[in-house]
Amino acid sequence: SGLGNSSVKLSDLSLKYLHRPLSKEQQTSDWSGELSKGQLEYAARDVTVLLELYTPITQGIKKAKLSEVAQIEFETLPAVVALELNGILLDRQKLEKLTGQLHTELEEAEANCRNLFGDGINLNSPKQLLEALEKRGIKTDKTDAATLKSMEKKHPEASVILRYRKASKAVSTFTEKLPGFIHPVTGRIHPSYWQLGAATGRFSCSNPNLQQIPNETRFRECFIPAPGNKFVIADYSQIELRVAAAISRDPVMLKAYRTGEDLHRQTAAILTGKDPADIDKKERQLAKAVNFGLLFAMGARGLSDYAENSYGVKMSVREAEEFKGKFFDHYTGLRDWHKCTKSGSYYEARTLKGRRRLWSTVSSLNERLNMPVQGTAADIMKIALARLPKALKGTEAKLVAIIHDEIILEVPEDKAEEAKRMLVTVMESAGDGFIDIPLVAEAAIADSWAGKA
C-alpha cells in the first residue's frame, strides 16, 4: 500500500504471520541431480506454509477492507500472463533507420554543448555542468530537467543541455538496449509488467519499459503487428478528469460528461469569457493545461511552467493566478473536494473501489488528491483487462501491450473491426456500478503503434 519497508517475500510473510523463520539456504543449492532430504524438505515446506498463511492473510485483507481490490488483482492476473507471453514485435529495419538518426542527433547535440562549454567537460556530470554554467554567469543549484526548462527563456545554454540529454537517452534506450530484448526464438520483445508497480495501483513496466517510449511517430512506428495482422489500439478519454468528477461530485463536471459536452471547451469559455462555440484550438489547449494542472492543486507558478512545458501554452504567473480563481469559482465541487482532502487524513487515501495507499510520514495535498483519482483509473483498467480474454474469444486477438490507460491488441486483419468493438465495449463498461458517468474509450485500427494519433 505504498509503504516501502513492507516486504512480501515468502520468508517475511512466514515470520510476520506465523512468527516462524523460513530458511532459504537450499534455494541456491544444486537442483540438477538427485535431490537430497534437505532439498525435499525445503520444497515441501515452501508449499505447506502457503496453506498456513492463507487464513491470516485473508483475515488481514478483510480487516483492511481490501477484499474487493484483491479480487480485482486476482482476476487481472491471467491477462497479465498472456500479455508477457505474447510480447510485441519490432520492425528491425525501421529501428535501424531510427538508430542512425538518433546517433546523428546525439553527435550534433554533443558538438553544440562542447562549443559552449569546452571539450574537457563530462556532459553527464551535474557537478561539471554546474561549474560550466557558473563560468558563463549562470547561477543555479541544480541541473535537473525542470530547472533547466525554467531557465530556457533567459539562457539558451539550458536548451542545448536538454537537447543533448534527450538525444543521449534516446540513443541509450533504442540503440544500446532495445535490440537486446528481442527474444531469439519468438523474435519479439516480452517486457515484464508489474501489476502493483506503483503505490496507486497502476502498472509499471521493465525490461524494457514501454511506458518510457516517446510519444513520437518515428519511435512508435517501430512497434508493429505480425504479417496478416493489425493493431487495435484504444485508450480512455480524459479518464482522470472523469474520475475526479465522480469523486468530487462537481455538478458542472458531472453535467458536462453526462450530456457529452467538451469539458476543455467549457473551461476555455470560462477562462476567456467567450461562447463555447467560438473557442479555437489554441484556447482549448490552454484549457487542457488548466484542467489537468489544477486537478491536483498545482500552484500558479507551477501551472505557468506546466502549461508551457506540457502544452506549449505561455501564461504569466499573474495570468495563472487569475485562471486559477476563475476555475475554482466555476468548479465549486472540485474546490470543495480539495478543501475536504486538505483537512482529512495525512496518512491514508482510498479509491472508489477501496484500494488503499498509506504514508508513514505526512503526505502532501497533491499526493492525497492524486491517489484516489489515479488509483480508481487503475482499478477501471484492471477490471477491463480481467474481462478482455473472455470478451475477445473467437477473435484470435492477442493482448500485446498496455501503457497507462492504453491497451494494444494484435488481431488478424479480418477480425480487427470485431475486436475493436469488443475492446471499446469492455473498456467503457469497466466502471459500471461505481462510476455514474460515461467512460469513453477511443480506438483505432493501425499498422503500427504510431497509427493512433
Judge whether residue 303 has pLDDT over 80.
yes
> Of the ranges 112-126, 242-256, 273-287, 414-428, which one carries the lowest mean pLDDT score?
112-126
Task: Report, as an integer, the average pLDDT of 77-105.
Answer: 95
Q: What is the pLDDT of residues 388-419, one digit of tens each?
A: 999 999 999 999 999 999 999 999 999 999 99
- In the chain, residues under CATH classification 3.30.70.370 are 201-239+376-451
If we measure between CA atoms, which residue out of 36, 56, 379, 440 comes closest to residue 234? 440
Q: Which fold has domain 201-239+376-451?
A: Alpha-Beta Plaits (3.30.70)
CATH number for the domain formed by residue range(s) 241-371: 1.10.150.20
Report how far residue 269's alpha carbon sits from residue 250's, in angstroms, rounded to the nearest whole number: 18
Task: Give per-residue burial for 36-67: e unless 16+ CB within 10 Å, then b.
Answer: eeeeeebeeebeebeeebeeebeeeeeeeebe
Give ranges for CATH 1.10.150.20 in the chain. Answer: 241-371
Angle, CA 139 vertex, CA 112 and CA 321 arms, to 5°: 100
For 416-449, the pLDDT digits (tens) are 999 999 999 999 999 999 999 999 999 999 999 9
**Cβ–Cβ < 8 Å for 72, 353:** yes
Average pLDDT, the chain: 93
In this prediction the pTM is: 0.91
Condensed to tens digits (0 to 9), the pLDDT of residues 196-254 reads 989 999 999 999 999 989 889 999 999 999 999 999 999 999 999 999 999 999 999 99
Q: pLDDT value at position 203?
A: 95
What mean pLDDT comes out for the span 269-278? 92
pLDDT of 154 above 90:
no
Task: Point out the least confidently predicted range of 58-62, 141-145, 350-354.
Answer: 141-145
The pLDDT, as a whole number, for residue 453 is: 66
Whole-number percent of the chain with pLDDT over 70: 100
The predicted model gives 36-61 an average pLDDT of 94
Residue 140 has pLDDT above 90, yes or no: no
Q: What's the Cα-to-Cα distance from 54 to each of 24, 34, 57, 65, 378, rounded to whole Å?
A: 20, 31, 5, 16, 26
- Please say whether the beta carbons of 353 and 376 come within 8 A: yes
Domain 92-180 has CATH 3.20.20.80: no
Mean pLDDT of 322-347: 94
Could you tell me where in the chain the CATH 1.20.1060.10 domains are found?
Answer: 92-180
Tell me the Ramachandran region of residue 137: left when phi exceeds 0, alpha when psi lies from -120 to 50, beta otherwise: left
- Which pLDDT value is given to residue 370? 95
Query: Of 85-89, 172-176, 255-259, 342-346, which range is least confident?
Result: 172-176
Share of the chain above pLDDT 90, in %: 78
Provide the pLDDT for residue 407.
97
Predicted confidence at residue 359, as pLDDT, reads: 94
pLDDT of 19 over the 70 cut:
yes
- The average pLDDT across 51-60 equals 96
pLDDT for 53 equals: 97
Greatest Cα pair distance, the chain, in angstroms, is 81
Residues 6+ apart with CB under 8 A from 27: 42
